[in-house]
Chains A and B, each alone.
Chain A
Amino acid sequence: MNLRAAPRAAYRRAPWVFSLGAGLAAWEAVGILRPGLPIPPPSAVLVALVELVREGYLAEHAGRTALHLVAGLALALAAGLGVGVLMGRSRRAEYFLDLYLNLFLAAPMAALVPIMILVFGLRPSGIVATVFLFTFFGVAVNTYTGVRDANPRLVEMARSFGAGEGMLLRRVILPGALPLILGGVRQAVGRAFNGVILGEMLISTVGMGGLLMQFGGQFRIDLVLALLVVVVGTSALAVGAVERLERRVHLWLGGAD
Chain B
Amino acid sequence: MIAIAEVTKVFRGRDDEELVALDRVSLTVRDHEFLSIIGPSGCGKTTLLRMIGGLIPAEAGTIAIDGVPVTGPGPDRAIVFQDFALLPWADLLANVAFPLEIRKVPRREREARALEALRLVGLQDFAHYYPRQISGGMQQRVGLARALGVDPEILLMDEPFGALDAQTRQLLQEELTTLWQRDRKTVVFITHAMDEAVYLSDRVVIMTPRPGRVAEVLEIPLARPRAPETREDPAFVRLTARIWERLKALGAAQPPAPAKQTPA
* Chain A interface (Cβ < 8 Å from any Cβ of B): 153-154, 156-164, 167, 171-172, 175-176, 252-254
21 contacts between A and B (CB under 8 A): A153-B81, A154-B85, A157-B81, A158-B102, A159-B55, A160-B53, A160-B54, A160-B73, A160-B79, A161-B102, A162-B99, A162-B102, A163-B102, A167-B102, A172-B87, A176-B89, A252-B89, A253-B88, A254-B89, A254-B131, A254-B132
Expressed in whole angstroms, the minimum distance between the Cβ of A251 and any Cβ of chain B is 10
Describe B's contact surface by its main secondary structure: loop
Expressed in whole angstroms, the minimum distance between the Cβ of B263 and any Cβ of chain A is 32
Known A-B contacts: A172-B87, A176-B89. Give 20 more (CB < 8 A). A153-B83, A156-B85, A160-B55, A160-B73, A161-B73, A161-B150, A162-B73, A162-B74, A162-B99, A162-B102, A164-B102, A167-B101, A171-B90, A171-B98, A175-B87, A253-B89, A254-B89, A254-B130, A254-B131, A254-B132
CB neighbours (8 Å) of A153 from chain B are 81, 83, 85
Q: Is the CB of B101 within 8 A of A171?
A: yes
Instruction: Indicate if B69 sits at the interface (CB-CB under 8 A).
Output: no
Q: Is the CB of B99 within 8 A of A161?
A: yes
CB neighbours (8 Å) of A253 from chain B are 88-89
CB neighbours (8 Å) of B85 from chain A are 153-154, 156-157
CB neighbours (8 Å) of A158 from chain B are 98, 102
* Nearest neighbor of A167 in chain B, beta-carbon distance: B102
Q: A107 CA to B150 CA in the complex, in Å?
A: 52
Of B53, B83, B99, B102, which is in contact with the most chain A CB atoms at under 10 Å from its CB?
B102
Expressed in whole angstroms, the minimum distance between the Cβ of B260 and any Cβ of chain A is 32
Q: A160 CA to B101 CA in the complex, in Å?
A: 13
Q: Is the CB of A162 within 8 A of B81?
A: no
Q: A161 CA to B103 CA in the complex, in Å?
A: 9
Our pick among A154, A159, A160, A162 for the contact of B87 (Cβ within 8 Å) is A154
Expressed in whole angstroms, the minimum distance between the Cβ of B127 and any Cβ of chain A is 17
* Nearest neighbor of B56 in chain A, beta-carbon distance: A156
Expressed in whole angstroms, the minimum distance between the Cβ of A118 and any Cβ of chain B is 47
